Amino acid sequence: MRQSVWQPANSMRPENEIGSWLQMAKERLHGVCETPALEAQVLLSHVLKKPRTWILAHPEEQIPPSLFAHLDQLLNRLINREPLPYLLAQWEFFGLRFFISPAVLIPRPETELMVETALRWLQLNPKRRKVADVGCGSGCIGITLAYHTPELSVIASDISFPALQLAKQNVSLHHVESHVHLVQTDLLSSLHCTFDLICANLPYIPTQTLLNLPVAKHEPILALDGGEDGLQLIRRLLQSIQLWIKPGGLILLEIESSQKESSLALASSLLPKATIHCIHDLSDNPRLITIQFP
C-alpha cells in the first residue's frame, strides 16, 4: 500500500502558487496602472530574485511563506501609485541597469534620445572628448556616454548631494570611476573649465502645471520644477554657457513637448551665432534642443 507523504499545514496551498499570486495582484492593480500583469510579474521577479521568464514558466511553483509579508507591502505601495522603479530601487536606461531612489528622477525612455544624439556626435568628432552632464541625478546620461565611449572625460554635476551619492554608486556599478567625476554645484557655476559637449536634462515643468501632476507626489520636486515658464534653469544655463563651451562645441537640452517654440526663441535670442534645431522623439513630440556653436 502506497503511503502518503506528510506535508506541513498550508505548505502547498494553491493560493500560494506563483500563478495564483500573479492573478490576484493583476486584479488588485487593475485601474491603477496601464500594465497590471507586467508590473505584477516584475514585482514578483524582483522579490523571488528570478528572471521574469522563469516566473512565467513556473506558475505552479510555491512562493516561500517568508516572502509574503514583503510582497504584500510592495504590492500595497504599488496600489497606492508609488512608482515601480522606486520599489525595485533600480531601473534600466539605454540597456544598462541603474540604482535609483526618490532622491532622483526615474530614467525615462525619451531621455535616451539625448544619449543617442550625443554618441552620434562624439563618433563624428573623435577629438572632442570632454563632456558635462548638468543636473545629472542618477548619473545615467554621463555614465552611459562614458560606458560606450571609454576615452571620454565626464564631469557630472548636481546641486543635490543625495543625488550625487546615488550617482556615485552607479559610477562604481559600471566601473567608470576614472572617466566620470561628480561635482556638487549649481549648474556649472563652480567650474573653471570648458567642454566639447554639454548635456542638460534640467527641470522643465512649469510650477503651476507641476501642482496637478501625479509625478510630483513621489519624484523630487527639485528635479521637476522649472519655474514659472518651465525654462528658468535652462535660461540661467544658456545665459552663461559661453563660459563653459568650447568653440565648435554642442549643447543638448531636453524639453517638455509644448516648449519647442519658446525654447528655440530663447536659445536664438541668447546665442544668435549658434545653429539651433529641435529633434522629435519616437512619438513625434519635440524633445531635444541642439545648439551647435561655430
More confident residue, 4 or 12: 12
Cα 38–chain centre separation = 19
**Residue-level pLDDT at 14:** 60
Q: Which fold has domain 104-292?
A: Rossmann fold (3.40.50)
Query: Which residues of the chain form CATH 1.10.8.10?
Result: 14-81
- Label residue 8 by pLDDT band (50, 70, 90): very low
Residue given cell 506535508 in the structure block = 7
Segment 37-71, tens digit of pLDDT: 999 999 999 999 999 999 999 999 999 999 999 99
3-state secondary structure string across the chain = CCCCCCCCCCCCCHHHEHHHHHHHHHHHHECCECCHHHHHHHHHHHHHCCCHHHHHHCCCCECCHHHHHHHHHHHHHHHCCCCHHHHHCEEEECCEEEECCCCCCCCCHHHHHHHHHHHHHHHHCCCCCEEEEECCCCCHHHHHHHHHCCCCEEEEEECCHHHHHHHHHHHHHCCCCCCEEEEECCCCCCCCCCEEEEEECCCCECHHHHCCCHHHHCCCHHHCECCCCCCHHHHHHHHCHHHCEEEEEEEEEECCHHHHHHHHHHHHHHCCCCEEEEEECCCCCEEEEEEECC
User: Which of 7-21, 46-60, 183-197 has the lowest average pLDDT?
Assistant: 7-21
Percentage of the chain lying above the pLDDT 90 cut:
93
Segment 202-248, tens digit of pLDDT: 999 999 999 889 899 999 999 999 999 999 999 999 999 999 999 99
Mean pLDDT of all residues belonging to the chain? 94
CATH number of this structure's domain 14-81: 1.10.8.10
The closest alpha carbon to 246, from 154, 129, 116, belongs to 129
Query: Which residues of the chain form CATH 3.40.50.150?
Result: 104-292
Segment 112-161, tens digit of pLDDT: 999 999 999 999 999 999 999 999 999 999 999 999 998 999 999 999 99
